[in-house]
A and B are shown apart, each in its own frame.
Chain A
Amino acid sequence: MARAESSKDAASNGVKANTNGAPSNYELPWVEKYRPVFLDDIVGNTETIERLKIIAKDGNMPHIIISGTPGIGKTTSVLCLARQLLGDAYKEAVLELNASDERGIDVVRNRIKGFAQKKVTLPAGRQKIVILDEADSMTSGAQQALRRTMEIYSGTTRFAFACNMSNKIIEPLQSRCAILRYSRLTDAQVVKRLYQICKAENVEYSDDGIAALVFSAEGDMRQAINNLQSTHAGFGLVSGDNVFKVVDSPHPVKVQAMIKSCQEQKIDEALDSLKELWTLGYSSHDIISTMFKVTKTIPSLSEHTKLEFIREIGFTHMRILEGVQTYLQLAGCVAKLCKLNMKPQLFTVPNA
Chain B
Amino acid sequence: MPSDIRSFFGGKPAAAVEKPPPKAEATSKKRGRARKVVDDDDDDEVVTPKKATPKKAKIPEPEAQETTADDFFGKGRKPKRTEAVRPEVKKTNGVAKDTSKNTPKDKASSRAKKDSTYTGLDVDEFPDDMDADEGGDNFKSEAKVGRRAGDDYQEGTDDDDDLPLLPTKKRASGKQGKAKAEDDDFEPDGDVDIKEDDDFVVPDVEEDIKPAKKPIKKRKAAAIDSDDDDLEVEEKQPSKKRTSPLKKSRQTTKPKMVTGQHEESAEMKAIFDSIPTVNAPEPPPKAEDGAKPKFQYGAHANSATPADALDPSQFPQGQENCLAGLTFVFTGQLQRLGREQGQTLIKQYGGKVTGAPSKKTSYVVLGDDAGPKKLQTIKQHGIKTINEDGLFALISKLPANGGDSAAAEKFAEKQAKEEETIRKAAAEMEREEKARLAAKAKTKPQSSGQAGSQSKGKEPDAPDNRLWTVRYAPTQLNQICGNKAQVDKLARWLRAFPKNQKTKFKMPGADGSGTFRAVMIHGPPGIGKTTAAHLVAKLEGYDVVESNASDTRSKKLVETGLKGVLSTTSLMGYFSKGAEEVEEGKKKLVLIMDEVDGMSAGDRGGVGALAAVCKKSQIPMILICNDRKLPKMKPFDFVTYDMPFRRPTTEMIRSRISTIAFREGLKMPPNIINALIEGTGADIRQVVNMISTAKLDSQNMTYDESKDMSKAWEKHIVLKPWEMVGKILGGGLFNAASQSSLNEKQELYFNDHEFAPLMLQENYLGTKPQRANKYQGNPKMHSLATLDLVSKAADSISDGDLADRMIHGTQQQWSLMPAHAMFSFVRPASFVAGTMAGHQTRFTAWLGKNSNQGKLMRMVKEIQGHMRLRVSADRNEIRQTYMPLLFDRLVRRLEDDGKEAVPDVIDLMDHYFLTREDWDAIYEIGVGDNDMEKHKIESQAKATFTRLYNKASHPMPFMKASQVLAPKRAPAKDRPDLDEAFDESEDDAPPDDVKDDEEDNDLSKDKYVKAPMKKKPAAGASKKRKSKAADNDDEEEEEEPKTKKGKTKARAKK
Partner of B743 from A296, A314, A315 at Cβ < 8 Å: A296
Chain B contacts of A104 at CB under 8 A?
Answer: 601
Interface residues in A124-163 by Cβ distance below 8 A to B read: 124-125, 127, 139-141, 144-149, 151, 154-155
Chain A residues in 8 Å Cβ range of B468: 62
Q: Are B743 and A175 in contact (CB under 8 A)?
A: no
B-contact 0/1 string along A105-137, CB 8 Å cutoff: 110110001000000000011010000000000
- One of B131-139, B796-804, B956-964, B1020-1028 contacting the partner: B796-804
The reply on A304 being an interface residue by CB < 8 A is yes
Contacts of B601 in A (CB 8 A): 104-105, 139, 141
Q: Is A226 part of the binding interface, using a Cβ–Cβ cutoff of 8 Å?
A: no
Given A108-B550, A141-B601, A297-B741, A321 contacting B816 (CB threshold 8 A): yes
Cα–Cα, bound, A174→B685 (Å): 10
Assess whether B690 is interfacial by the CB under 8 Å rule: yes
A111 shortest CB reach to chain B, Å: 11
Q: Please state if A54 and B696 are interface contacts (CB–CB under 8 Å).
A: yes
Q: Is the CB of A155 within 8 A of B470?
A: yes
Which residues of chain A (321-337) have a CB below 8 Å from chain B?
Answer: 321-322
Q: Distance (Å) between the CB of A181 and the closest chain B CB?
A: 5
Residue A318 is within 8 A (CB to CB) of chain B in the complex: yes
In the bound complex, what is the Cα–Cα distance between A26 and B751 (angstroms)?
44
A310 touches B463 (CB 8 A): no
Closest Cβ of chain A: how far from B1035's Cβ, in Å?
Answer: 52
Asked if A124 meets B743 with Cβ closer than 8 Å, knowing A178-B689, A318-B806, A318-B816, the reply is no
Assembly CA distance A124 to B690 (angstroms): 23
B595, A148: Cβ atoms under 8 Å? yes
Interchain CB contact under 8 A, A175 and B715: yes
User: Given A172-B626, A297-B743, are A307 and B826 neighbors across the interface (CB < 8 Å)?
Assistant: yes
For the complex, what is the distance from the CA of A33 to the CA of B115, rounded to whole Å? 103
- A189 to chain B minimum Cβ distance, whole angstroms, is 19
Q: How far is the CA of A145 from the CA of B530 in the complex (A)?
A: 15
Given A105-B601, A145-B598, A147-B549: A176 and B742 interface contact (C-beta under 8 Å) = no
User: For the complex, is A171 an interface residue (Cβ under 8 Å from B)?
Assistant: yes
Select from chain A the residue with minimum beta-carbon distance to B552.
A109
**Binding-face segment, B345-353, B776-784, B817-825:** B817-825
- Contact call B466/A155, Cβ cutoff below 8 A: yes
A251 an interface residue at 8 Å Cβ cutoff? no
Instruction: Find out whether the CB atom of A181 lies under 8 angstroms from the CB atom of B712.
Output: yes
A256 → chain B, closest Cβ, in Å?
Answer: 15
Q: Is A74 an interface residue (CB 8 A)?
A: no
A310 and B819: CB pair below 8 A? yes
A51 adjacent to chain B (CB < 8 Å): yes
B602 touches A167 (CB 8 A): no
Asked if A303 lies at the interface with its beta carbon under 8 angstroms from chain B, I say yes
- Is the beta-carbon distance between B602 and A105 smaller than 8 angstroms? yes
* A109 with B713: CB separation less than 8 A: no
Q: Does B584 contact A (CB under 8 A)?
A: no
> Out of B465, B525, B715, B717, which one reaches A155, CB within 8 Å?
B465
Interface size on B, residues (CB 8 A): 64
B813 near A: Cβ within 8 Å?
Answer: yes
Q: Name A2-21 residues within 8 Å CB distance of B.
A: none
For residue B467, CB closer than 8 A to chain A, the reply is yes
The complex places the Cα of A95 from the Cα of B802 at a distance, in Å, of 49
B460 CB to closest chain A CB, in angstroms? Answer: 10
Is B746 engaged at the interface, CB distance under 8 Å to the other chain? yes
Note all chain B residues with C-beta closer than 8 A to A304: 830
Assess whether B816 is in contact with A141, with CB atoms less than 8 Å apart.
no
B residues near A177, Cβ cutoff 8 Å: 689
B1033 contact set on A, CB distance < 8 A: none
In the assembled complex, the Cα of A172 lies from the Cα of B470 at a distance in Å of 16
Interface residues on A, range: 35 or more
How close is B552's CB to chain A, nearest CB, in angstroms?
A: 6
User: A166-B716, A175-B715 given as contacts; is B600 within 8 A of A105 (CB)?
Assistant: yes
Q: Is B162's beta carbon under 8 Å from chain A?
A: no
Mark A304-320 against chain B: 1 for CB-CB distance below 8 A, else 0.
10110011011101100
Is B872 located at the chain interface by the 8 A CB criterion? no
Query: Shortest CB–CB separation between residue B711 and chain A, in angstroms?
Result: 9
CB atoms of A318 and B693 under 8 A apart: no
Q: A232 to B284, alpha carbons, bound, how many Å?
A: 76
B852 to chain A, nearest CB (A): 30
Query: Given the complex of chains A and B, what is the CA–CA distance between A331 and B594 in angstroms?
Result: 62
Q: Is the CB of B816 within 8 A of A317?
A: yes
A179 touching B550, Cβ below 8 Å: no
> Is B465 a contact partner of A60 (Cβ separation < 8 A)?
yes
B945 interface residue, CB < 8 Å from A? no
> With a CB–CB cut-off of 8 A, which chain B residues contact A125?
462-463, 465
Give chain A residues whose Cβ lies under 8 Å from the Cβ of B600. Answer: 105, 139-141, 144
In the assembled complex, B686 has its CB within 8 A of some CB on chain A? yes
**How many whole Å from B966's CB to the nearest CB in chain A?**
32
Binary B-proximity of A52-65 (CB < 8 A = 1, otherwise 0): 00110011101100
**Do B550 and A148 touch (CB < 8 A)?**
yes
User: Given A175-B525, A178-B693, A289-B815, are A311 and B799 also a contact pair (CB < 8 Å)?
Assistant: yes
Task: Indicate if the CB atoms of B462 and A321 lie closer than 8 Å.
Answer: no
Q: Report yes or no: B819 in contact with A144, Cβ–Cβ below 8 A.
A: no
Complex: how many Å from CA A303 to CA B833? 13
CA distance A62 to B470 in the complex (A): 11
Q: Which residues of A contact B549 (CB under 8 A)?
A: 144-148
Most buried by A among B600, B626, B743: B600
Which A residues between 166 and 204 are near B, CB-CB below 8 angstroms?
166-168, 170-172, 174-181
Partner of B715, one of A109, A124, A171, A303: A171
Q: Which 6 A-B pairs have the closest CB atoms?
A: A141-B600, A144-B598, A148-B548, A314-B819, A167-B716, A175-B526
Other contacts beyond A55-B696, A148-B595, A176-B685: 11, CB < 8 A? A51-B697, A144-B597, A175-B525, A178-B692, A179-B713, A181-B712, A296-B742, A297-B742, A310-B827, A311-B823, A314-B803
10 A-B pairs whose Cβ atoms sit less than 8 Å apart in the complex: A105-B602, A147-B549, A175-B525, A178-B689, A307-B826, A311-B822, A311-B827, A318-B813, A321-B815, A321-B816
Chain A residues with a Cβ under 8 A of chain B: 50-51, 54-55, 58-60, 62-63, 67, 104-106, 108-109, 113, 124-125, 127, 139-141, 144-149, 151, 154-155, 165-168, 170-172, 174-181, 285, 289, 292, 296-297, 303-304, 306-307, 310-311, 313-315, 317-318, 321-322
